[in-house]
Amino acid sequence: MINISNETIFVKDQISRCEDIDELKEVVLPMIQDQKNLWQKKINEIVSESPLSKKVFAEKCHVSRVMLDKWLKGSIPRDREKFIEVALVAGYDLPETNKLLTRYGRYSELYSKTLGDCVAIYVIKNEPPETRSEKYDEILEKINAETLNIEGSDSPDISTEIVNQKLYEVRNEDALQRFIIENSNVFSKAYSKLFAAVNMFIAANYTENVEKLSLGQGWSSSLKHTVYEIKNGTWHPNRNKIISLGIHLSMTHEEVDELLQLAHMEPLYSKNTFEGLIMFALDSAEMEGRLRPDSHFETNQNSSENYFDPDDLLRYTLDIFREFDDPEVKDFLKELEGINDE
């Protein structure tokens, strides 16, 4: 369960009360630590508390010593797998690992219905801290090699709670491999509720196909590919892509949070500069009637009753982001402008 502190709730409330960008800059942003500072503080804490040398720590995370030094200066890993590896090397338990993923990486927490995460959960539960990273690599390589071509069965899907319970009962590698083979259908449907929600939202709100909308808004190729993978049920959720998709599809703050939670991530986090700006943009746009006519607030009184401009939220968010000189904001601005083709 996601724990939201009173301080975070206060900052979120202050964002919702801001009437313009100047007030946001003067009142709220000084309260917020950006993601780079949060990560820099955390990784320095982890490395300083580790009995390993920096060289060995880097090797166990499968990065160079130079890359570790960049992390220590605030460079954020762009790969969810690196956050998992850091947690394993640090000897974190499951709650600590999930917090590292969601709070510092802004990725989804470990999810037992995906293959790699299933192995990570098993290792955290059953291996001593000093051997977890090596055992994780060893088991995952073995299982990938032996079960890569196994297709999902026709057996019905089962709840995450039941999968968790079954996984926690696994105590050795042979049992883990049997568990994965027996539940191959589960791994093929890991994020089916998220995919269904996105597809239903598009079908309910857009009479035009998404391909036409994406061309009109100049979506990045990676965002177009995201929608393609969602339709095919093959996407592994990325937090920034979910937020970007929400803006391009003119979703409300509540709807974006719902997608994030279906991806097993925290809702928009008010104590991060970038996400604080997203919250301000979504809340202000809703108050000003820039979202769909069926959203909580009615359309702008100066607009016709049923008129909806699908590009309005995107333009509004771009205007807000261009007011800020922040590395994370600039990176996301490239995504919104359709030039972030990772």
Q: What is the mean pLDDT of residues 246-273?
A: 89
pLDDT at site 3: 47
Residues 6+ apart with CB under 8 A from 77: 71, 83, 86, 105
Domain assignment present for 15: no
Domain assignment present for 37: yes
Task: Write out the H or E segment, with its range, that includes residue 12.
Answer: helix 6-17
Residue 158 has pLDDT above 70, yes or no: yes
100 and 169 belong to one structural domain: no
- Which domain range does residue 49 map to? 33-110
Closest to 92 measured CA to CA, from 142, 129, 140, 43: 129
321 and 197 belong to one structural domain: yes
Residues 6+ apart with CB under 8 A from 209: none
pLDDT at site 75: 86
Q: What is the mean pLDDT of residues 292-302?
A: 47
| Under 8 Å between Cβ of 178 and 225 | no
Closest to 136 measured CA to CA, from 148, 120, 125, 147: 120
Residue 4 has pLDDT above 80, yes or no: no
Number of structural domains, the chain?
3
Domain closes at, from 53, 86, 110 = 110
Domain assignment present for 11: no
245 and 322 belong to one structural domain: yes
User: Who wins on pLDDT, 48 or 310?
Assistant: 48
Instruction: Kindly report the pTM of this predicted structure.
Output: 0.73
Domain closes at, from 92, 110, 128 = 110
pLDDT at site 105: 85
196 and 331 belong to one structural domain: yes
Question: Which range, of 55-69, 191-205, 217-231, 245-259, averages the lowest pLDDT?
Answer: 217-231
106 and 116 belong to one structural domain: no
Question: Which range, of 30-39, 83-92, 116-125, averages the lowest pLDDT?
Answer: 30-39
Closest to 198 measured CA to CA, from 231, 220, 232: 231
237 and 309 belong to one structural domain: yes
Domain assignment present for 28: no
